[in-house]
Amino acid sequence: MYETWEELEKSIENCNKCKLCKMRQNIVFGVGNKNAEVMFIGEGPGADEDRLGEPFVGKAGKLMDMAFDVVGIKREEVYIANIVKCRPPNNRNPEEDECEACLDYLRNQVLLVKPKIIVLLGSVALKHILGKEYGITSSRGKVIEKKGITYIPTWHPAALLRDENKKIDFIRDLKILQSKDF
């Protein structure tokens, strides 16, 4: 584990730990306040993120930004990262070996940010951070305390594009951040 952002960022620059490196345009490392109280963890970059090198800047990201506005979260105040830092082809889910290869970067990001709360966006983030036994449908909207960090699993923003009801859930889940006195 690296103790500074500079070292960590340098260590990922030419990463070829998994096959996703072959197809990437950009490594999507993470963005936001490096001292944030709240961290959001998604799954992996899509086409827009791969092109621009920043998480959640495509359609799903725009929807997430709208939900942030509704709830009063400022994107620049939180830290946003993904389970895998390179785009899986055709927007498929990242495979197990790809997640395993990449997870140490995320663990290091969490160590450096030291968030009080981590919002887990979707099943891939939930299962890789809290464990395979967790399911997103039953876990979303719950507050889960583990090793000094509060986890709030919710739907992945891309799921909101397909299901109007999930938007309501998503906003409700984000409001937990406001209701707790962190």
Residue numbers of the site for ligand URA (CB under 6 A)?
A: 42-46, 49, 55-56, 58, 60-61, 82, 158
Rank residues 61 and 115 by Cβ distance to ligand URA and give the closer one.
61
CB contact set of 131 (below 8 Å; sequence gap of 6+): none
CB contact set of 176 (below 8 Å; sequence gap of 6+): 141, 143, 152
Rank residues 64 and 117 by Cβ distance to ligand URA and give the closer one.
64
Nearest distance, CB of residue 139 and ligand URA, angstroms: 17
Rank residues 55 and 115 by Cβ distance to ligand URA and give the closer one.
55
Q: What are phi and psi of 29, to 5 degrees?
A: -75, -55
Instruction: Check: CB of residue 162 under 8 Å from CB of residue 58.
Output: no
Nearest distance, CB of residue 148 and ligand URA, angstroms: 25
Chain position whose Cβ is nearest to ligand URA: 42
Rank residues 107 and 180 by Cβ distance to ligand URA and give the closer one.
107
Nearest distance, CB of residue 104 and ligand URA, angstroms: 18
CB contact set of 127 (below 8 Å; sequence gap of 6+): 134
Instruction: Check: CB of residue 98 under 8 Å from CB of residue 22.
Output: no
